[in-house]
Structure 1
Amino acid sequence: MSRFEDLVVWQRAVSLSANLYKELAGLKDFGFRDQITRAGLSIPSNIAEGYERNSSKELANFLNYAKGSAGELRTQIYIGIEVGYIERAVGDAWLLECEEISKMLYGLIRKVKMELQASDVLTFNF
């Protein structure tokens, strides 16, 4: 796959990030709103940045950053629900989507790492 825009995981992460911005636009706690939208924004951004790098190793690193941001976002959603900033039904849907995105990223990371290992074996095969 040559374009990150073709990745379903990137598309879903973009959609989730946009939904965060829309849903929380009126939230007066600017610190919380800024933090949660940044976490959401970093997921598709890191996927894109990894795909624009020149190596599979860098791609795997940026996919790991994206997965970490998904965990950060889930934590913030839990807190947002707990303090009443996020409606339970909305938060639960976001949590489910974050988990799905994390699973997709995990699979993609494994695939990239397996390809890296295969290329290492081929490189050193005498």
Structure 2
Amino acid sequence: MDNEKTFRRLMIWQKSMGLVIKIYELTKKFSKSEQYGLTSQINRSAVSIPSNIAEGFGRKGTNDYLRFLNISLSSLFELQTQLEIAFNLNFINENKFDRIYEDTREIERMLTS
């Protein structure tokens, strides 16, 4: 079982899953009035990243896998934009923004390498 080929063994998937947890913990503190707005969008973007990595891993052929990695990258860019909006609206302080943004940049570097 240890040698089983699975998306769970991919470092990019593991880091993306860790980011999802951080994002949910962060948005839990957002205003309740944002629950169906920015909070929902941020959470969906974050979840989309490891989900597409996993889906691409399950596809046959490198081209399909690369296409899903590209979709993950697009979701990551969407997340970065939404985090910037939340920061500009003072939903996130600078320290938290910087830490989570750096996490997104690390995943971005992994997706583009």
- Whether TM exceeds 0.5 here: the answer is yes
| Of 18, 22, 45, the match for 1:15 | 18
- Stretches of structure 2 that go unaligned for 5 or more consecutive residues are none
TM-score computed with the length of structure 1 as normaliser: 0.81
Structure 2 residue 91 is matched with structure 1 residue 85: yes
CA distance in 2, matches of 1:14, 1:4: 12
Provide the residue aligned with 2:65 in structure 1. 59
Q: Percent identity?
A: 34
Report the AA paired with residue 28 of structure 2.
A
Shift of 1:105: 0.7
Where relative contact order (Cα < 8 A, 6+ residues apart) is larger, the structure is: 2
Q: Which whole-Å CA distance do the structure 2 matches of 1:26 and 1:79 have between them?
A: 15
Match of 1:124 in 2: none
Cα distance in 1 for partners of 2:93, 2:17 equals 21
Q: Which protein is bigger by CA-based radius of gyration?
A: 1
Provide the C-alpha distance between the structure 2 equivalents of 1:100 and 1:91, rounded to a whole number of angstroms: 14
Q: Which residue in the other structure is 2:51 paired with?
A: 45
Identify the range of structure 1 (21-30 vs 34-43) with the bigger mean alpha-carbon deviation. Answer: 21-30
Question: Which whole-Å deviations, capped at 9, do the CAs of 1:9-53 have from their partners, x for residues lacking one?
Answer: 111110111111112114211111000011111000000000011
Which TM-score applies when normalising by structure 2?
A: 0.89
Counterpart position of 1:104: 110
Query: How many residues of Structure 1 are paired with residues of Structure 2 in the alignment?
Result: 107
User: By percentage of residues, which structure has more helix?
Assistant: 1
4+ runs deviating over 6 angstroms: none
Q: Does 1:75 align with 2:78?
A: no
